[in-house]
Structure 1
Amino acid sequence: MQQLQPTGLVLFVGLLATFTGQSSGQPALGEIYRLNGLQSDLQMDTFRHVGKLMNDQYRRLDRRLKAIGSRIRRAERDLGVDSPPDEPLGGPAFPNIPDEGPNNIGNRPGNIPDKPVPSPPPVGQIARTCDEIYRMGYRNDNEYVIDPDGQGLRTVPEFNVRCELSRGEGVTIVGHNYETEPVFVSGYEQPGSFQLQIRYTNADFEQLEALTQASASCEQYIKIVCMGAVLFRAQLRRGHRDYGWWIARDGTRMMSWGGVPSSPDSGQCACDLDGSCVNSHFKCNCDSNNKFWSEDSGFLTDKRYLPVRMVYLGDTGGTKEKSWLTLGELRCKGFSGE
């Protein structure tokens, strides 16, 4: 049987593997999509090429078998021997070509007609949340356009969000200007003298309000790591002094942290719920004003107040008083039906 010869396609696959294996650094998201799409195309072409070669080999083998069968029948006729009727030779088993459905990277159209890619919304219609995009059949984590208050109402304009669709549900994600790394706070002694103003990506607070109303639930992670700096309240000889707070989407001044019910005056952190605060006389670890590193963290989950507009802190004027503040992205799930 004729041996298969190396082809330009196979060599190109090898070059691509070498290129992708030797590349250094983190490629841009668009480059990842392009390379994955190219890899998928090459895989499909390889399967088709192998299938064509197998089909050619099958045809040659079939012709040879038919010629041999004809010679056998002539010999049997000469000898007066009856032969059973010919049975059709089964076709070759070709490798299964991977499906290209809506979960392929980049959402490129599939090449298999019986596995169609889900259609986008009808012309003029935009999904309200990433949950709705997920229910349409899309499974690619990517940037999409949504219109949370409903297409055609035009109360607020549509805007771009990140959709997480590959983990069994659709999650709408909105980032901001401080989401990538903690913010160091030092040199701000007076209450609220440190001010962190949050600007959300591609959306104003009116659009974000529409998103939280359209979603079944929303959350935002918040954390502070402190040394010698209180978060909310410092105990004085007479009463206390409020050093920190955050401003909700609707402008409400809030004095509760992640992991507890949102409140404008509770001064509570998650450690107070399970009695794990380093000092039982305080509701937050940082409010103990310890000379060692402490942490208060958790998720804000009351969507009526999300996302966070601003964070105010103080009590970091001393040389050994400092804090690190982390505020995560806004993440919304489900559909409220509003």
Structure 2
Amino acid sequence: MTNIPPTISGQVIAVDSDPYDVNINYSIPMEQITSLIDQSTKCYQILTAECKNAKIYDGENQLAWWVSRDGARMPNWGGATTIKGCFCYATDNCVSGNRCNCGANVRASDGGRMDDRTKLPVSALHFGSAAPPKEMSYRIENLMCYTQVP
């Protein structure tokens, strides 16, 4: 298993401005990362947002997103795959029937394991409408890749 840490791996980072944009940097060049992904059987990365009174989606409007390695704004968040929303939306398990748990007036979190090798790793994050007095923080974990032996 190969482990590629972003420079902020595992840290909980508070969103403190509107908008809040961050580029995610890695310890090796992107060309090497994509070559490793192409040679691997499986890769994944975990992305989590923790919040109170801050939203990832406001109805149909996306307020927070991650950016794929090719620069695409992604409509899913932390583990959701083919939907516009969070993993809890895909499983019909979000607080108050929202697209994400973030958006409820309680302390909540959204996140999960993202494993679309054609989009990984996360190259940037954007948050809108999440600055204080709203509460939003995020955590991104290492990109993990491995090859299954037959």
TM-score, reference length from structure 1: 0.42
Partner of 1:324: 137
Partner of 1:256: 76
TM-score, reference length from structure 2: 0.91
RMSD: 1.7
Partner of residue 90 from structure 2, selected from 273, 279, 289: 273
**Compared CA separation, residues 254 and 245, structure 1 to 2 (3 A):** same
Alignment of 1:146-295 (within 5 A): 171-188=1-18, 193-201=19-27, 203-231=28-56, 233-235=57-59, 240-261=60-81, 263=82, 266-280=83-97, 282-286=98-102, 289-295=103-109
Contact between 1:214 and 1:335, CA under 8 Å: does it hold in 2? no
Alignment of 1:75-154 (within 5 A): none
Q: Distance in 2 between matches of 1:303 and 1:250?
A: 12
Q: Does 1:314 align with 2:144?
A: no
Partner of 1:24: none
The one-letter code sitting in structure 2 at the alignment partner of 1:187 is: S
Q: Number of residues paired by the alignment?
A: 149
Structure with a larger share of its residues in strand: 2
Q: Distance in 2 between matches of 1:226 and 1:249?
A: 25
Say which structure, 1 or 2, has more relative contact order (CA 8 Å, 6+ apart).
2
Q: Distance in 2 between matches of 1:309 and 1:184?
A: 18
In structure 2, list runs of 5 or more residues that go unmatched: none
Quote the offset at 1:187 in angstroms. 3.1
**Compared CA separation, residues 333 and 245, structure 1 to 2 (3 A):** same
Q: Distance in 1 between matches of 2:39 and 2:148?
A: 6
Quote the offset at 1:186 in angstroms. 2.5
What secondary structure, in the 3-state scheme, does the structure 2 residue paired with 1:298 have? strand
Contact between 1:219 and 1:332, CA under 8 Å: does it hold in 2? yes
**Compared CA separation, residues 241 and 258, structure 1 to 2 (3 A):** closer
Structure having the higher Rg: 1
Contact between 2:2 and 2:146, CA under 8 Å: does it hold in 1? yes
Structure with a larger share of its residues in helix: 1
1:304-323 deviation line (CA, Å, top 9, x unaligned): 1010000001112442x011
In structure 1, list runs of 5 or more residues that go unmatched: 1-170
Quote the offset at 1:335 in angstroms. 5.9
Partner of 2:111: 297
Partner of 1:36: none
What percentage of residue pairs aligned between the two structures are identical?
26
Q: Distance in 2 between matches of 1:275 and 1:174?
A: 32
Q: Distance in 2 between matches of 1:243 and 1:207?
A: 31
**Compared CA separation, residues 207 and 335, structure 1 to 2 (3 A):** farther
Q: Distance in 1 between matches of 2:106 and 2:144?
A: 32
